[in-house]
Structure 1
Amino acid sequence: MTTSCDAEPLPDNPWEKWGWAFAAIWLVFLTFPIIAVAESEVSVAATVGAFLCIAGFAVANVLGYSSRLDPWWALGAMVVLALATAPVIGIGIISFTPYLAILSALRLPRPAWKWAVGLWAAFPLLSLLDIDGFPTFFFLMLWPVMIGGVMLRIFGEREQLAYAARGEHAIVAERERVARDVHDVLGHSLTALSVKAELAARLIDLDPARAKAELESIQATARQALAEVRATVGGLRAGNLEAELAAAPRVLADAGVTTRVEGSVADTDPRHRALLAWVLRESVTNVVRHARARSVVIELGPRGIAVTDDGAGCDGAEGNGLRGMRERVAGADGTLSIGPADPGTRVEVALP
């Protein structure tokens, strides 16, 4: 069974899908070593060999961002091919380091990528030696490119962590929802079963026919509770205000409590009827369990619902039911007030 508590899947690494396109675009900067080879005073064979090495470097770089070639193998091939051009372009092989750094930053696992990028970032410092007339400022142009690759890696990892955090939050929120819903369903149903069982026990000798009817009602209520629990765990159940409004007087009557309803479902805001159904269910359950009331008034209106009893009043700490009710109401930007009704208790929910 699949429920909404399944964690949100982590996004695919974009560099595995589109990294090759990114790498292909940046190959334009291989123009520098290509020009250096073309201007070198070496044999034709050495020139052709250098061009082939640059082409192989480009291919390995693009494949390193795809699933066709392990990034470690791609880096190894790129290093070998870059070094192979050294006899032709000399210190100019430093121009290959940004490609090595960015591939390392974006494709190597942690923590290896950090050490690899640090290694490649150190090579441009050789330009300060002014070898072969190499421009000493060259490293200033290469480092920003490498830093860009590092920032892309950091932002990507932060995004992965954000997705994971959202997934974990969704799991926790769904667990709380299921726990709250199961509590509401079982609390109401078990209370109704308890009241009906007590009534049947008193009637077993006085009115066997009525006692039999109550036992059959117990069976029906138990089956309904089981179905509701299954639906709740599956994330399929939603409160039905009409059904709860029809069931409340019956449950209260079994407990010896009379009910008066002021207003109707049509008077309520359709957006909040599922929430109002949960509030009514929990309020009726609390009356039956704790209030020792003789009458209850249920008021329905466009702003919400109020349930007032003439029982013993409210005292003590709130239980899971009331806490769950507060969470539901707060989630709808509403307010829940519980106070004395002189006598009894009044539970009122106001919604926007």
Structure 2
Amino acid sequence: MSETARTAHQDLHSEQGALRGEHPGRSRNPVIKVADLAWLEFEKPDLDRAEVFARDFGFAVAARTDGELWLRGTFAGAPCMVIRKGRTGRFTGPVFRAAERSDLDRLARATGTEVRDADVPGGGRAVSLLDPSGFPVRVVHCGERLPALPGQRPLVLNSGTGHRRTNAAQRPPREPSRIQRLGHVVLETRVFGQALDWYLDTLGMIVSDFLFLDGQRERGPVMAFVRCDLGGTPADHHTLAVHLGPGTGYVHSAYQVTDLDSIAAGGEYLRERGYRRSWGIGRHIQGSQLFDYWRDPDRLMLEHFADGDLFAGDVEPGWAPMSTSGLAQWGPPATRDFLGASPSPRRVREVVQALRGDNELDPARLLGLLRAAKS
């Protein structure tokens, strides 16, 4: 690594910065700069069952009809998720929030699309797009904000000689982790480079961290943790993460809760009700979040998180090798379920189709991904 790169990243989030000629992690002239994720869209065959899990996981219900279930957190703003009645349980796309109404007009002109009414409680306008993976992406601007709800209070902690709690016992209630807000979504794609550049060029997002395969750094990264560019206002380390793989689509989504006790007590509540933990509890390296991953009744993965990194717009991307051991600072080993390493007929079909198709996954890349999953 060059001394310039090392100096630029001293005391920052990564020991390694970019080498000469590597991806800069941002677009020179993006069409717009989205302000955040607005919400995520899903389909499920049984909305009653979806609502039971949602409440157990910690969501509140913002609106419910025969065909739609809108879920929210305690923070004021947009809902976190909409679930529409469908034949199977599946993710149907992310929705990003435009900073200004005029951004939608600019985006529509640049992409040859139209600004249309958004099907959201309270109304709004939206532009519908497809990313290079063929995945639906919408950008919205909504006039009405949901009011805040009562939230969980963080526990008062004693630490060292700092005795903030005296003559009082600590008894976190065994109850659902109360979701505060939507944090991020992770997507898998066979055309990682094209997809990444599209999100940077079209939506103005910027990279916080790149991961590359050991021995293949010269071929470029295979995963990026991407945040919104809010200038001097710090933003979540990643609002979107994208990685190369044989499949196309949803990996997991993450929802902020109050603190570690909220994660742990909420996890015990889920476990007692028969839900399946995928991986946790631990603390990530990229993003630093405390995490706990769960499967819903349709086997979609959702994450409780707390205490994530916040970066201003001038923090440059870090670079690190991809490895399973590099996923967490502490916690149990990553499970095969979390890694998607459990063999299944669907996964085998995806690998075969990817290797036969015109995309970025070739045998060397696939072998590198398999080695990273075992390292």
Q: TM-score range by the shorter chain?
A: under 0.3
Name the larger-Rg structure: 1
Structure richer in helix, relative to its length: 1
Higher RCO, 1 vs 2 (CA within 8 Å, ≥6 residues apart): 2
